[in-house]
Structure 1
């Protein structure tokens, strides 16, 4: 493995922006995201009431973004993603202000994709139109299931019909690119049940479906009291039937759990999985930056709790900054092959081979020895043009990645 002084020049990859809105109406029992029940938060006071500190939070987002501008290196944004929590708890005016700030401080590339996550129970038709007018052009609706029993199991606060109405209202408000999130492997769920959920999403005519398996994560209510979920063979049968159903109806699988109509894969997802860069702002937000002048690749993270995030900048930060920089960790040279592959191999088509050297500073020879062994096992395609698995190897990505763990 080359040492830092022997690295190839790094090329600046495309840039995206992630905005974290950390509040939600209720914490779902399966959720391990950085989300907090929506309450009014005042500096130095105990949470109380039902309102959000929307104006103060957007002010902090602006300071956060300004503090990270030196790492942008003049690039414009190719995508923006509002995640959470439930970003649709914020008003269209607040979302519009954030977008105006991002455009004025960083700038937008032509054809920018701007996604807002939302739960069906939080929507009103007037809000849909407001988000669209503010500049949001892609809506991601967290349905999870249309089945009333499963919605109860998952602690959701909407009904199946409300989810269908939300998608219809979004279309009426002008959205031409809509994603629906669905889960499978739910308690007591049969293959028929799972396919019924997919059918209802397809019947709504959405452009993108994120269909992922329920996993029991630490620090969740389900971890403390795990539900009984289908066994591995049942899960495999559900996945096989669901993938075939989506393919028959024109949804191509381009990532582990992402399916889209032709040409409508999420640009933000593609940016993540291509080992490109992204600015992360908001409580608990993560980011990644390439710093060509020093040959460094860094990951950033903000403090997690809304209270602590809102308190940032009350004291002068390090270096005399009015707003402190996020916590920074370098991606070590020996970790870069694995970091790159953990992202790129999630994509069904992989990534161009030349992007490995451009985005890691390492020659392709850093992969070659293990790659040739994997190629002989028909798990990966030849390294000449693309870094990707074969169709057979795509089901063994975890085993492939084990070959690239740093020594020691």
Structure 2
């Protein structure tokens, strides 16, 4: 297994996978966190980062059994697994489905072999097509495909051709997003040549029209789904919900109330290096941070304004502990510029605001 040059996930190049040791570490990690979470019902599980589909179906059967033994797992929980195309992994799809995984997210990125090579992907276009078809045959009726645009030397026509091929495979969900160059990646140290901003904008508009014509609803800045098939797990993130992460490098955000009834929000992460995590999973929790006041509000807006429908003011009040009347007047300049709109119930970006979301967030960071 090797790491792609654009990837900033907590993934590591390694050979043999110590499945049983990692399984035991995950469950011990979970047990330690139960002291903080209590017995909350688990509504969604997302197994992502790196290449989790390299684990066996038996690993996941044991993992889910271990979770159920420690926490209530909702009968209709959404359980997503990220996978990369390739015949070795695709052959496992039936086992993953039998283990209880009911949503598959395949990291295709492109159907152009030249662009796949530039991205450092180990699969070719045909392997991606085969993987999507095999996932369907294995019983995955909730299927996401990840596709990138603004790739090195990619023309607008090539970007749209990728999207057309993805739509032809009949997924229920598409994540279509621009390649961004992240720190601590090979591409950051040696940036590739990408299309200019005008070309990117034209490609986006053409892609949005194509997706809409194919019945996909844009519900988040880079997420598109067939009706009723939005990713429940990610919706929880974007609406500033709580989540519990186990495993090397995993992050958690949990809300509670102190003895005076005040809302307390805590973030923490787990030991990043797999070998260190395996050596001491019971002591994996790191860097607890209490998110207070305006930082809490900004984080909630940072996530909620990614949604096309925005975020409800009631949700903001509940998740931040702050009354909108305290801070909403400060949004007036963004409203006057036609970037934000609000009523008595919801706050959202306008289409122009979504297109310039980074600028909107920079302004909020300065004014809130």
TM-score by length of 1: 0.86
Q: Would the alpha carbon gap of residues 386 and 86 (structure 1) be closer, same or farther in structure 2, given more than 3 Å must change?
A: same
In proportion to residue count, which structure has more helix? 2
For the Cα contact (< 8 Å) 2:250–2:270, is it kept in 1? yes
Structure 1 residue corresponding to 2:2, chosen from 21, 26, 30: 26
The structural deviation recorded for 1:406 is 6.4
Aligned to 2:292: 332
Checking the alignment, whether the CA contact within 8 Å between 2:52 and 2:82 is kept in structure 1 is yes
Q: Does 1:96 align with 2:61?
A: yes
| 1:234 match | 199
Q: Distance in 1 between matches of 2:252 and 2:59?
A: 22
> Does 2:6 correspond to 1:38?
no
Q: Over the residues paired in the alignment, what is the CA RMSD in angstroms?
A: 1.7
- Mark the CA change 1:226 to 1:378 in structure 2 (over 3 Å): closer, same or farther: closer
Distance 1:108 1:268 in 2: 14
The verdict on how the C-alpha distance between 1:366 and 1:101 changes in structure 2, with shifts beyond 3 A counting, is farther
CA distance in 2, matches of 1:406, 1:400: 10
Where structure 1 has 5 or more consecutive residues not aligned to the other structure, the ranges are 1-24, 40-50, 314-321
The alpha-carbon deviation at position 391 of structure 1 amounts to 2.4
Match of 1:402 in 2: 362
Q: Distance in 2 between matches of 1:96 and 1:366?
A: 48
Structure 1 CA distance for aligned equivalents of residues 201 and 48 of structure 2 = 29
Q: Which residue of 2 aligns with 1:260?
A: 225
Name the CA distance, whole Å, in 1 between partners of 2:191 and 2:359.
27
Of 109-118 and 70-79, more deviation after overlay is shown by: 70-79
Aligned match of 1:164: 129
Alignment deviations for residues 298-334 of structure 1 (CA, whole Å, 9 cap, x no partner):
1110111111111115xxxxxxxx5454431111223
Report the counterpart of residue 9 of structure 1 in structure 2.
none
* Residue number in structure 2 paired with 1:115: 80
- The answer to whether residue 316 in structure 2 is matched with residue 356 in structure 1 is yes
- By relative contact order (CA 8 Å, sep 6+), the higher-ranking structure is 1
Partner Cα separation in structure 1 for residue 240 and residue 106 of structure 2:
26
Partner in structure 2 of residue 154 of structure 1: 119
226-235 or 268-277: which moved more? 226-235
CA separation in 2, counterparts of 1:36 and 1:226? Answer: 21
Instruction: Mark the CA change 1:351 to 1:109 in structure 2 (over 3 Å): closer, same or farther.
Output: farther
What CA deviation, in whole Å up to 9, does each residue of 1:28-69 have, x standing for no partner? 111111110122xxxxxxxxxxx1111101111001111111
CA distance in 2, matches of 1:68, 1:124: 31
Distance 1:404 1:228, change over 3 A: closer
Which is worse superposed, 390-399 or 83-92?
Answer: 390-399
CA distance in 1, matches of 2:188, 2:362: 26
Distance, in Å, in 2 between the alignment partners of 1:184 and 1:286 is 28
- In structure 2, what is the equivalent of residue 367 of structure 1? 327
In the alignment, does 2:173 pair up with 1:208?
A: yes
Where does residue 336 of structure 2 map in the other structure? Answer: 376
Q: Take 2:180 and 2:41, find their aligned partners in 1: how far apart are those partners?
A: 36
- 2:159 is aligned with 1:181: no
In the superposition, relative to structure 1, how do residues 301 and 400 fare at CA in structure 2: closer, same or farther (>3 Å)? same
Query: In structure 1, how many angstroms separate the alpha carbons of the residues matched to 2:284 and 2:22?
Result: 16
Q: Give me the whole-angstrom Cα distance separating, in 1, the residues matched to 2:364 and 2:85.
A: 41
User: Residue 272 of structure 2: which of 291, 298, 304 is its match?
Assistant: 304
Equivalent position SS for 2:148: strand
| CA positional deviation for 1:96 | 1.4
- Report if aligned partners of 2:277, 2:284 keep a CA contact under 8 Å in 1: no
Q: Residue 159 of structure 2: SS of its match in structure 1?
A: helix
Find the residue that maps to 1:141 and give its secondary structure.
strand
Given that residues 335 and 406 in structure 1 are in contact (C-alpha distance below 8 angstroms), is that contact kept between their aligned partners in structure 2? Answer: no
In the alignment, the residues of structure 2 paired with residue 173 and residue 237 of structure 1 have an alpha-carbon distance, to the nearest angstrom, of 37
